[in-house]
Amino acid sequence: MLMRTDPFREFDRLTQQMFGAANPGTWSKPATMPMDAYRDGDEFVVCFDLPGVAPDAIELDVERNVLTVKAERRPTPGKDVQMQVSERPLGVFSRQLFLGDALDTDRIAAGYEAGVLTLRIPIAEKAKPRRIEISGTTSDRKEIQA
């Protein structure tokens, strides 16, 4: 049997229950996933922490500039396993991001490595800075003598 001495564990559980944090080991409600987002040159990068989630349990959808990420962490023990400690949350995790018009949602690239889902969203060509040429006719300047 795995045992761990932690005098504050019960306080942590009570705090989670009181403030609505997802109950570890339950499937009751969707939980959010931690994320980092930053701009890297001509693309916007978003990284989601999804440890223990199989790649085939991740769904990505974009509709009207809303990106939805859903992932499901399923239990791994077999039928004869007697769980001693279950602190890792199970179930569905979800997150929605509202993407601006400056991003090219048609060319989103996704990769998953070491429990981190990385999305690369290019900046749209129309949103990139560009130089505007000024055209016009050259005026013939004449000196006026008085």
Map out the domains of the chain with their CATH numbers: 27-77+87-127 (2.60.40.790)
SS3 24: coil
23 burial (CB, 10 Å; 0-12 / 13-18 / 19+) is middle
Instruction: Give me the DSSP letters along 73-127.
Output: EPP---TT---S---S--EEEEEEEE--TTB-GGG-EEEEETTEEEEEEEBPGGG
How large is the average pLDDT for residues 104-130? 89
Digit-coded pLDDT (tens) for 76-109: 777 888 888 877 778 888 888 888 888 898 999 9
Answer whether 29's CB lies under 8 Å from 102's CB. Answer: no
Residues 6+ apart with CB under 8 A from 53: 71, 72, 73, 93, 115
Q: What value does the mean pLDDT of the chain take?
A: 78
* CA–CA gap between residue 50 and residue 94 (Å, rounded): 11
- The larger pLDDT score, comparing residue 126 to residue 70, is at 70
Q: What is residue 130's predicted lDDT score, i.e. its pLDDT?
A: 75
**What's the DSSP call for residue 31?**
B
- The larger pLDDT score, comparing residue 9 to residue 36, is at 36
CA angle 10, 79, 21 (to 5 degrees): 30
